Amino acid sequence: MTNAMSLVPRAARRHRVSQSIWLLCSVALLSGLAAAQDRTQAPPTPTDVKPGSITLDDVPYPYAVSYLPMTLYGQDVRMAYMDVAPEGQANGRTVVLFHGMNFFGEYWAGTIDVLRKQGFRVVVPDQIGFGRSSKPIIPYNFHDMALNSRKLLQHLGISKAAIVGHSMGGMLAARFAASYPDMTERAVIYDPIGLTDPRWSRPWRSTDESYKDTLGWTYQSIYQGIARYFVQGWKPEYEKYVRIHYAWTLSGDWPRFAMVRTLVQQMVYVDPVVYDWPHIKVKTLVLGGEKDGPDFPARAKYIADTIPGAEMVLIPNVGHVPHFEAPDLFYKALLKFLNEPATPAPRTAPTVH
């Protein structure tokens, strides 16, 4: 019996195959463009968002929040933190989680649960100027943040801890590890920002000019700022952080808090940590999403090469917040490193599968 396909002229078959390939490529291209559009085009401003507390009194945290009073630049402030005991058998070790610029301790909820089930005590501070901590107008810098974190650990009777810092917290983890090696058991610099010294690539913008921009935040600008973190598409649970940020702009405290936000954003410019990396002597992992910006893999490798004996792990097909986009792969890499012997491991650059 003759195959029906053989009755079709060969040239016509090639044409149909070419059309099919073109159609599949077009669909793939349109899907990619739609995904990119989803990340860049914000939805309309919601009408049900109410003015929000700049100290997140209206945002539930996964565990009880305590406060450490301190004085900074003559102002009485308090530093919020969660101190979470291990679940079951304790392993005698502590992990400290430093949050990013656009987040706060609450977003570590899943990570806390994973770590405490492994026997770790987990301490999660909100840095001054963030989360439930005070919002003073002061000259923010990583030296103060590292010192405040050290004071918190001393207050809690913790002499040594593994330090994990994400995004801005990755910069802080570098400063803490370089400044206080005696208190740093090991360090994880996780999708850090501040990958270069920006002072030589772009001019300084005055605080007043930057403040005007911050005051003008809209729901759309906030959405676009957060949506760029995710490469696997927008999920409903991410919207919570856009709504929290937008709720601040509706508060009567926003003009003052906008200045705080301006100052902490400028901190990345005025206080680079690129010169801290070679001074980190503790066991270190540089961890991040492979698609956290086009230059991130190369810059992450540079950080790992600069820190003596550092390891590097890139998680494929995720962006700036792998513990949201690919939690299983993130926790696999994190726990592997935390459970390794304390001696520095040979430098490597694997990809998690």
Question: Does residue 237 share a domain with residue 150?
Answer: yes
Confidence category of residue 342, pLDDT binned at 50, 70, 90? confident
DSSP character for 191? S
**In this structure, is residue 346 part of a structural domain?**
no
CB 130 within 8 A of CB 149: no
**In this structure, is residue 224 part of a structural domain?**
yes
Judge whether residue 201 has pLDDT over 70.
yes
Residue ranges in the chain assigned as alpha helix (H):
10-40, 109-117, 142-155, 168-179, 207-215, 219-227, 239-249, 254-270, 296-306, 322-325, 327-338
Judge whether residue 344 has pLDDT over 90.
no
**In this structure, is residue 61 part of a structural domain?**
no
**In this structure, is residue 52 part of a structural domain?**
no
Confidence category of residue 248, pLDDT binned at 50, 70, 90? very high
Question: Does residue 23 share a domain with residue 129?
Answer: no
Phi, psi angle pair for 322, to nearest 5°: -60, -30
Question: Does residue 216 share a domain with residue 137?
Answer: yes
pLDDT of the residue at 39: 52
**In this structure, is residue 219 part of a structural domain?**
yes
**In this structure, is residue 112 part of a structural domain?**
yes
CB 187 within 8 A of CB 173: yes
Condensed to tens digits (0 to 9), the pLDDT of residues 118-162 reads 999 999 999 999 999 999 999 999 999 999 999 999 999 999 999
pLDDT of the residue at 141: 98
User: Residues near 66 by Cβ (< 8 Å), separated by ≥ 6?
Assistant: 80, 81, 82, 83
Mean pLDDT value across residues 5-25: 36
CB 227 within 8 A of CB 238: yes
CB 210 within 8 A of CB 262: yes
Question: Does residue 242 share a domain with residue 104?
Answer: yes
Question: Does residue 248 share a domain with residue 187?
Answer: yes
Domain that holds residue 26: 4-40
**In this structure, is residue 263 part of a structural domain?**
yes
Question: Does residue 186 share a domain with residue 102?
Answer: yes
∠ Cα 343 304 292 (to 5°): 130
Confidence category of residue 42, pLDDT binned at 50, 70, 90? confident
The CATH number for 292's domain is 3.40.50.1820
Question: Does residue 76 share a domain with residue 26?
Answer: no
**In this structure, is residue 50 part of a structural domain?**
no
Q: Count the domains in the chain.
A: 2
Q: Percent helix, strand and coil across the chain, each rounded to 5?
A: 45, 15, 40
Question: Does residue 284 share a domain with residue 212?
Answer: yes
Question: Does residue 8 share a domain with residue 100?
Answer: no
Residue 110 CA to residue 108 CA, distance in Å, equals 6
Question: Does residue 90 share a domain with residue 137?
Answer: yes
Q: Can you read off the two tokens belonging to residue 222?
A: 């906030």
Mean pLDDT value across residues 268-292: 98
Question: Does residue 239 share a domain with residue 123?
Answer: yes
Question: Does residue 163 share a domain with residue 213?
Answer: yes
